[in-house]
Structure 1
Amino acid sequence: MTPPMTPSATAVSPRQAGSSVSSAVSAATIAGPPPQTRSESSSRRITTHELSSDVRVAVARLSRRIRAEKADGALSDGQYSVLALLFREGEKTLSELAEHERVTPPSMNRTVNKLESAGYVVRQASSDDRRKVLFVPTDAGRELVKETRRRRDAWLDRRLARLPPATRALLADAAQVMRELADS
């Protein structure tokens, strides 16, 4: 069921703000005032529900697009995530990896087995407890992470370079807000 129209609900969402002229004419005919441009939309009041939906969808789509830029397309996102964690934080046990990725140990075992068979990680016995097995990235695994990061940064850099300086400044502010949201 569609919620009743309120003054804030009749405003055009940021997603709709960049629509074509014909859409704008249709919206003006149906909804009353013409839709706002992107710069005008930032000054209007939108509900937190509208904003949460728009941000969630935009972040998910951008994240999915950036993840597509990886050096080994045969790796799943989960496998790459584990390899990147080992690259960033160093050796980990199977249970530490499973806990970090929020999966079961048997599922993590399948992931590290695939990484090991691809030559990206090796198993090593812990120096303080020989019964404990640690997973460590190989040189090939470290290079894969570096190359994937390089590709992802290059892809995003090319797109950001096309934006006007004011929009890039706005994105810099938004990135700070998104970091704060992620840390809350």
Structure 2
Amino acid sequence: MRLARRLRAEQEPGELTLGRLAVLGRLERDGPATASALAAAERVTPQSMARIVQHLLDNGLAERVPNPQDRRTATLRITEAGRKRVLTDRGQREAWLAQAMSDLSDVERDLVVLAARVLDRLADS
């Protein structure tokens, strides 16, 4: 948790909360998705996701794409501006982490990589 807080401190200040950034990151990694699928994946209520989605749409970071098979539904996809924002934010945090890890021994770095894999498995369970 302390490392997560420290990484969040490297985030560029602005309108993108962690929830908004998480949704943008998911759209960037996984591709277009419905708001309900995003809510389930991020484990938030549909109402919370609706607020996040509206902010992303209003700020040109995501766009709504109608479903040609079912006009009642739409998917969200990241825009180029959203992609740039995600990649910039990710790059800042990765640069800080790489710098911080440069002080570790080879064994400590290997342990961090292994621990990250285990934590990913736990997060996906």
User: TM-score higher than 0.5 here?
Assistant: yes
Q: List alignment gaps of at least 5 residues for structure 1.
A: 1-59
- Alpha-carbon offset, residue 147 of structure 1: 1.0
* Greater CA drift, 139-148 or 72-81: 72-81
C-alpha distance in structure 2 between counterparts of 1:98 and 1:125, whole Å:
18
What is the aligned partner in structure 1 of residue 7 from structure 2?
A: 66
Equivalences, count? 125
Summarize the Cα distance change of 1:66–1:91 in structure 2 as closer, same or farther, 3 Å threshold.
same
C-alpha distance in structure 2 between counterparts of 1:163 and 1:74, whole Å:
34
| Correspondence list, 1:20-39, <5 A | none
- Alpha-carbon offset, residue 118 of structure 1: 1.5
Summarize the Cα distance change of 1:91–1:172 in structure 2 as closer, same or farther, 3 Å threshold.
closer
State the identity %: 43
Residue aligned with 1:108, SS: helix
Summarize the Cα distance change of 1:72–1:126 in structure 2 as closer, same or farther, 3 Å threshold.
farther
1:167 to 90, 108, 111: 108
2:76 to 135, 142, 162: 135
The alignment yields a C-alpha RMSD, in angstroms, of: 1.8
User: Greater relative contact order (Cα 8 A, min sep 6): structure 1 or 2?
Assistant: 2
C-alpha distance in structure 2 between counterparts of 1:117 and 1:83, whole Å:
14
C-alpha distance in structure 2 between counterparts of 1:84 and 1:177, whole Å:
21
| Alignment check: 8 A CA contact 1:124 1:133 kept | yes
C-alpha distance in structure 2 between counterparts of 1:177 and 1:110, whole Å:
32
- Alpha-carbon offset, residue 71 of structure 1: 4.0
What is the aligned partner in structure 2 of residue 178 from structure 1?
A: 119
C-alpha distance in structure 1 between counterparts of 2:113 and 2:123, whole Å:
15
Q: Deviations over 1:56-108 (max 9, x none)?
A: xxxx1101211232345321101111111111111111111111122221221
C-alpha distance in structure 1 between counterparts of 2:22 and 2:121, whole Å:
22
After TM superposition, the runs of 4+ consecutive aligned structure 1 residues lying more than 6 A away are none
| Alignment check: 8 A CA contact 1:115 1:121 kept | yes
TM-score, L = length of structure 2: 0.87
Q: List alignment gaps of at least 5 residues for structure 2.
A: none
Partner letter of residue 125 of structure 1?
A: P
C-alpha distance in structure 2 between counterparts of 1:65 and 1:76, whole Å:
15
Q: Does 1:83 align with 2:10?
A: no
TM-score, L = length of structure 1: 0.61
Q: Does 1:126 align with 2:67?
A: yes
Q: Does 1:150 align with 2:87?
A: no
Summarize the Cα distance change of 1:91–1:158 in structure 2 as closer, same or farther, 3 Å threshold.
same
Partner letter of residue 63 of structure 2?
A: V
What is the aligned partner in structure 1 of residue 48 from structure 2?
A: 107
C-alpha distance in structure 1 between counterparts of 2:119 and 2:36, whole Å:
29
